[in-house]
């Protein structure tokens, strides 16, 4: 009997752990698309790579340049930019095959992962911004 | 039923520890030949001569008395290279004060990855040429030697970035024999690979 109680407590804890572990990702499709299209460079936890690839986790660029983000995903960027005070003069290829919904999903995944708490994008907004690229 | 599960967990726990027992010797990889005299001949890395990020000539002699980790990459690689570099950096950090170990990355983009470009790349990675050489050289020599390292390097306009290559890391011993390799994009495989490096160090530099 005590054993069973014990087991109940353990599995309860485990379930809690699972819930906690899964919580930061309401954007499952965005996560999948991120893994396929972005994580090779920006890495699994958005940490980037030294002076070569800027981070996405905790990046002020996401807030400061919010309106440019949909175009950046589709067309890439080859510019001199500042992310969290560090200068990057690199080049990133875009992924032109992504749909508006997919762009919104990826950006929303990034905007709510690894401690990021940026405002999500609506499809309408992405569509309007993409027209202006 | 619960008990069986428990035993299973224990056993699989042990099994995962047993994969690299410390008395294990790494095999020499590749197809062996028998010489006319009847000796077994193992494939070796042939002579090479490349140029690194500091314009220094890099040959087999550069790695005399060392074990080294080789790979193939290019700077504007849109796919696997950053992950391989990230794992390469883990190896670099672990052994950067150990002169028995070096890293050698061959660029397969001869046109764009000039010595100056390699230098910039090395600076951005924060690496020191003494322990990690980024090299360029003659097109055919680089593409040819990829075979000896059991790696793929081909120009292919149909793949992203224009080059097809495997993200393998290859471990070469003091005698120019390939002893281990791993998928450089996979952190867990690289962990195993670093254990292989320690095994090889113990074998080739006995106390």
Domain boundaries along the sequence of chain A: 27-131
pLDDT values of chain B reduced to their tens digit, one per residue, 207 residues: 444 434 343 334 333 334 444 568 999 998 888 888 888 888 999 999 999 999 999 999 999 999 999 999 999 887 888 999 999 999 999 999 999 999 999 999 999 999 999 999 999 999 999 999 999 999 999 999 998 998 877 777 777 777 777 889 999 999 999 999 999 999 999 999 999 999 999 999 998
Listed as ranges, residues in chain A with pLDDT below 70 are 1-25
Q: In the prediction, which pLDDT does B18 show?
A: 43
Chain A interface mutation, best of B78, B84, B89, B134, highest count of A Cβ atoms under 10 Å: B78
Give me the helices (H) in B32-164, please. 81-95, 115-125, 139-148
- How far is the CA of B178 from the CAs of B46, B130, B158, in angstroms? 12, 21, 31
CA–CA separation, B187 and B42 (whole Å): 30
* Partner residue opposite B124 with nearest CB, options A40, A43, A50: A50
| Contact A91/B at CB under 8 A | yes
* Partner residue opposite B124 with nearest CB, options A51, A91, A93: A51
Domains of chain B: 45-204 (3.40.30.10)
Q: In the prediction, which pLDDT does A6 show?
A: 56
Inter-chain touch A40–B82, beta carbons under 8 Å: yes
Q: In the prediction, which pLDDT does A24 show?
A: 53
What is the value of pTM for the model shown? 0.80
- Pick left, alpha or beta for residue A46 (phi over 0 → left; psi -120 to 50 → alpha; otherwise beta): left
Residue A118 CA, chain-centre distance (Å), reads 10
Chain A: give the shortest CA distance to residue B120, in Å. Answer: 10
CA–CA separation, B120 and A52 (whole Å): 10
CB B165 within 8 A of CB B155: no
Chains A and B form CB pairs within 8 A to the count of: 32
β-sheet bridge partners, residue A106: none
Q: What is the CATH architecture of A27-131?
A: Orthogonal Bundle (1.10)
CA–CA separation, B10 and A19 (whole Å): 26
CA–CA separation, B112 and B103 (whole Å): 21
Q: Determine which helix (DSSP H) or strand (DSSP E) holds A12, and give its type and residue range.
A: helix A2-22
Which ipTM was obtained for this model?
Answer: 0.73
| Contact A43/B at CB under 8 A | yes
| Contact A8/B at CB under 8 A | no
For chain B, give the number of residues: 207
């Amino acid at each position: 009997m005590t054993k069973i109680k014990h087991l109940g407590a353990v599995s309860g804890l485990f379930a809690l752990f699972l819930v906690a572990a899964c919580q930061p990702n309401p954007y499952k499709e965005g996560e999948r698309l991120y893994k396929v299209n972005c994580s090779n460079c920006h890495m699994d936890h958005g940490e980037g790579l030294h002076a070569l690839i800027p981070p996405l986790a905790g990046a002020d660029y996401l807030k400061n340049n919010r309106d440019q983000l949909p175009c950046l995903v589709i067309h890439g960027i080859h510019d001199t930019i500042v992310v969290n005070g560090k200068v990057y003069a690199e080049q990133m290829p875009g992924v032109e095959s992504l749909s508006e919904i997919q762009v919104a999903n990826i950006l929303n995944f990034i905007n709510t992962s690894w401690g990021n708490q940026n405002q999500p994008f609506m499809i309408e907004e992405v569509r309007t911004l993409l027209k202006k690229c | 039923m619960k008990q069986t599960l428990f035993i299973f967990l224990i056993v699989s726990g042990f099994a995962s520890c047993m994969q690299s027992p410390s008395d294990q010797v790494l095999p020499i990889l590749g197809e062996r030949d028998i010489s006319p005299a009847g000796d077994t001949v193992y494939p070796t890395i042939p002579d090479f001569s490349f140029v690194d990020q500091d314009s220094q000539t890099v040959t087999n002699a550069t790695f005399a008395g060392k074990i080294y980790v080789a790979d193939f990459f290019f700077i504007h690689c849109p796919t696997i290279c950053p992950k391989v570099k990230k794992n390469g950096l883990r190896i670099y950090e672990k052994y950067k004060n150990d002169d028995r170990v070096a890293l050698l990355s061959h660029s397969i983009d001869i046109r764009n990855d000039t010595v100056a470009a390699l230098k910039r790349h090395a600076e951005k990675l924060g690496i020191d040429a003494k322990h990690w050489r980024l090299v360029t050289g003659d097109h055919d020599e680089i593409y040819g030697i990829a075979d000896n390292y059991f790696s793929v390097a081909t120009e292919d306009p149909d793949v992203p970035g224009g080059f097809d290559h495997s993200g393998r890391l290859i471990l070469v011993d003091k005698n120019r024999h390939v002893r281990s390799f791993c998928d450089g994009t996979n952190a867990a495989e690289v962990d195993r690979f670093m254990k292989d490096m320690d095994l090889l160090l113990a074998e080739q530099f006995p106390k």
